[in-house]
């Protein structure tokens, strides 16, 4: 469920007409619905109410401080993958004991920062990383709490760029070397083994790969117990998909039920790292039509948001629904919706039937709350868009639009010319 609905042929976010918002803050702008964020987080989290668990929202999906603060207030933790994300999480008030840290390339500075903050655990992705963390914990005179990220070798049946749990993937430690890696971990003085972790991919629309991965991890936990290594946390990662178009991913409650069924006899605290399912359909990108142009082959709608604002269509061929903010006509036309960037790959939609639009009209690119703003860039020296949080009929600017001055602030011209 989300709170972007038409009233009298006008698209609203909650009780605020998006047209009014766009007139006041300009375009392109990212708009998030507070009620939707709240609802999505609560539904996910409460689906696991019957077991000890921690919902660690995956910051990479949308890392705005205001959103992190909201999830913290709902009892959430976070999954981070960089020092920068840890900095944000702490700034937003996420307690360190609710932070897990994944990623294949943690640097010494990042490891030290996380150790000093006292996060719940590192999800370790290689034995070299394990040794590096052990040695930094030694230098800092503490013990690092860890889980090993195990690659369960299941096919998540999603886009290859966002599938992470197969043998050829760079992520995690191969299932058949995991026992050896745990054995090594327990021999290290500054490592405390806390758990087992996996994350098999993103935008999964079926439950079975999650269940397969869980079964493999349970078997591993049994083997570890038999070796005298006790496991307190089982982290199942994120990955639950959302409807962008015609997909019918499982509802979080069905996902939870399938997981809960597999947990009999297990006494771990479960950790989940959902990103997209919480924020994806809680946000839209509002853009204005600049021009329309007809060529022999195509009808182009040229808008003021480009691949620098939302790269998913260009990078993955992803589908995002596009809706007019004011419904004026039922007449449709098949168009390419393209941005102002100097790349042929700069498009938001190809061959899409849209109501006929003209210069000045506003469009909403739907399902843009996850991996939208966070993957945006300044390519073509385009300032990044403003981000707005709507609650009821009011809005709050949660990130200002960048200025041209902002874009050059960190640059310097050396005195050599």
For ligand LLP, the binding residues (CB under 6 A) are 58, 60-61, 79, 102, 162, 199, 202-203, 237-240, 273-277, 312, 316, 370-371
Pick the closer one to ligand LLP by CB: 16 or 59.
Answer: 59
Pick the closer one to ligand LLP by CB: 134 or 202.
Answer: 202
Q: How far is the CB of 325 from ligand LLP (least distance, A)?
A: 24
Rounded distance between C-alpha atoms, residue 198 and residue 238, angstroms: 9
Q: Could you give the C-alpha distances from 254 to 205, 257, 266, in angstroms and in order?
A: 12, 5, 20
Q: Is 351 exposed, middle or buried (0-12, 13-18, 19+ CB in 10 A)?
A: exposed
What is the DSSP-derived secondary structure letter of residue 163?
B
Rounded distance between C-alpha atoms, residue 327 and residue 356, angstroms: 10
Q: How far is the CB of 41 from ligand LLP (least distance, A)?
A: 12
Q: Which of 312, 310, 276, 279 is nearest to 384 (CA)?
A: 310
Q: How far is the CB of 39 from ligand LLP (least distance, A)?
A: 17
Quick check: is 198 catalytic?
A: no
Q: How far is the CB of 124 from ligand LLP (least distance, A)?
A: 12
Rounded distance between C-alpha atoms, residue 116 and residue 155, angstroms: 37
Q: How far is the CB of 323 from ligand LLP (least distance, A)?
A: 20
Rounded distance between C-alpha atoms, residue 308 and residue 28, angstroms: 11
Q: Are strands 173-174 and 144-151 parallel, antiparallel or unpaired?
A: parallel
Q: Are strands 299-303 and 386-391 parallel, antiparallel or unpaired?
A: unpaired
Pick the closer one to ligand LLP by CB: 92 or 325.
Answer: 92
Pick the closer one to ligand LLP by CB: 28 or 280.
Answer: 280
Pick the closer one to ligand LLP by CB: 28 or 369.
Answer: 369
Q: Are strands 191-197 and 233-235 parallel, antiparallel or unpaired?
A: parallel
What is the DSSP-derived secondary structure letter of residue 168?
T
Task: Please write down the HEC assignment for all residues of 382-403.
Answer: CCCCEEEEEECCEEEEEECCCC
Q: How far is the CB of 332 from ligand LLP (least distance, A)?
A: 28
Catalytic residue among 13, 29, 198, 342: 342
Pick the closer one to ligand LLP by CB: 76 or 324.
Answer: 76
Rounded distance between C-alpha atoms, residue 72 and residue 95, angstroms: 8
User: Known catalytic residues?
Assistant: 342
């Amino acid at each position: 469920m989300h709170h972007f609905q038409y009233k009298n042929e006008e698209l609203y976010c909650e009780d605020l007409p998006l047209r009014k918002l766009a007139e006041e803050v300009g375009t392109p702008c990212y708009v998030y619905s507070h009620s939707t964020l709240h609802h999505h987080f609560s539904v996910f989290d409460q689906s696991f109410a019957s077991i000890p668990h921690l919902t660690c929202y995956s910051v990479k999906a949308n890392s705005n401080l205001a959103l992190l603060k909201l999830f913290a207030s709902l009892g959430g933790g976070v999954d981070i993958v960089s020092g920068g994300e840890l900095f944000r999480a702490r700034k937003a008030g996420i307690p360190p004991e609710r932070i897990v840290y994944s990623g294949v390339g943690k640097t010494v500075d990042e490891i030290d920062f996380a150790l000093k903050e006292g996060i719940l655990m590192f999800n370790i992705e290689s034995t070299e990383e394990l040794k590096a963390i052990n040695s930094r914990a030694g230098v800092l005179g503490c013990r690092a709490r860890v889980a090993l990220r195990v690659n369960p070798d299941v096919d998540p049946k999603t886009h290859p760029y966002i599938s992470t749990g197969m043998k050829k993937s760079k992520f995690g430690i191969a299932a058949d070397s995991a026992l050896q890696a745990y054995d090594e971990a327990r021999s290290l003085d500054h490592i405390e083994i806390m758990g087992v972790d996996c994350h098999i991919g993103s935008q999964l629309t079926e439950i079975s790969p999650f269940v397969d991965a869980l079964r493999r991890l349970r078997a591993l936990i049994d083997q570890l117990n038999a070796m005298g290594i006790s496991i307190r946390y089982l982290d199942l990662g994120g990955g639950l998909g959302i409807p962008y178009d015609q997909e019918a991913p499982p509802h979080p409650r069905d996902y939870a039920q399938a997981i809960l069924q597999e947990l009999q006899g297990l006494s771990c605290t479960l950790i989940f790292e959902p990103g997209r399912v919480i924020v994806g359909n809680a946000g839209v990108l509002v853009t204005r039509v600049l021009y329309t142009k007809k060529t022999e082959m195509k009808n182009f709608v040229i808008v003021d948001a480009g691949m620098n604002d939302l790269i998913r269509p260009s990078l993955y061929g992803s589908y995002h629904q596009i809706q007019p903010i004011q419904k004026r006509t039922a007449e449709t036309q098949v168009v390419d919706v393209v941005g102002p960037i100097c790349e042929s790959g700069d498009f938001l939609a190809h061959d899409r039937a849209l109501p006929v639009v003209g210069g000045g009209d506003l469009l909403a690119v739907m399902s843009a709350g996850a991996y939208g703003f966070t993957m945006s860039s300044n390519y073509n020296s385009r300032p990044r868009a403003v981000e707005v949080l709507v609650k009821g009929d009011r809005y709050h600017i949660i990130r200002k639009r960048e200025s041209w001055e902002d874009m050059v602030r960190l640059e310097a011209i050396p005195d050599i010319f």
